[in-house]
Chain A
Amino acid sequence: MKTLLLLLCAVAALPAAALDGTKILEKVDRNLEPESYASYRKLINIEPDGSSKEFVLYTVKKGRDKILSLFLDPPSERDRATLRLGDNMWLYIPNVGKPVRITSLQSVTGGIFNNADILRLDYTAEYNVTSASEEQENYHLSLKANSGSVAYDRLEMQVDKKTLLPTVIECYASSGLLIKTLHFKDIKDFGGGIKRPATVETDSPLYKGYKSVMLYSGLKARELPDEVFTLGYLPRAKELR
């Protein structure tokens, strides 16, 4: 009888133990974007007085760790291009005429989004799931950076159970400081089986009263040769669209 009771308890505990955070995170990655894609994004930095500044980027990504963004607006930034290959990041400024290495914590746009947000790779490429738990409507994933060169040391991610899409992500420094919170909103059907939040809002205790918003448009799967994701191609990135 005692053995049967123990067996029943073990069976009852099975679903919790079977919660595979890594699998959930892999699904989150693929539900957000195809592994290789192209998209237009508008970044809006909103100041406490309501004034705002906008940037428009065309972005292409290939595989787990190659991503390139081309600035289309405002005119002062037009034709600038950023490239990320794993932990390596570069910024190409047409006037300077050569790509310059940049780091993930810098921001090429100013505002709350930094380079790691703008050139975001798959979460599974940069983070390991350290714990996963189940709440009423969400999964809660705790993620830890898999190397010292990742912008945020730790992420706390809320994932909607039905859509397997993130709703809120808190980003922490290694000191435990909350750097920013990302809010995923406005789920939209982009076609081609891609249905994801079209809006990502962020706020930060380091920038009280400020908000940055990223709007997605024209997101679709696109395959490009590896050579597009090289320094030599950055001056030609404007030919990609």
Chain B
Amino acid sequence: MNKDKNIDDQIREFLAKDPVPELENWEVNILTQRVLARVEKRAPRRFFGIRPAWGIGVVAVAALLLLAIWIAPPQLPEQALMPEDLAVLIIDEEPEDMLYDAISGGELEVETAFAEIIDIDESEAEKIYYSYAEDEIDAAINLLSDEEVENILQYLDEAGYSGKEEVIS
């Protein structure tokens, strides 16, 4: 017990002697400004109400999708799960929002989303994960199909994700 206590104290002592560098005031100011500037730059993620241009976009995408479904031959289920076939835009943004929030809020890991929820093999999941920059996670999520979004909702529901009620109701 004493030995444990000693190690504990030693670790704290050495960490105290090896302090984390202090940020200068100007660095904190720049950090704050950059964050606020990035927040300003980013467009609101809601389609309806806030930005009418999004509404027009959604209608256009929906029309294109209907056209594509009407023209395209039916796909085999195996093909629908392949990464290169994920480019089906979802019209309902809520699950996408929820997934984005779950990942960026630290409640869900991106690999989990790709590897476990979307049910593609691990090497493919890793390839996809590393092909997206962190800032592009939401762009990657935009590529999910309706079926995958359904799986995600089910997963989040089973995992007890706290925000699910707001979205599913």
Answer whether A and B are interacting partners.
Answer: no
B contact residues vs A (CB 8 Å cutoff): none
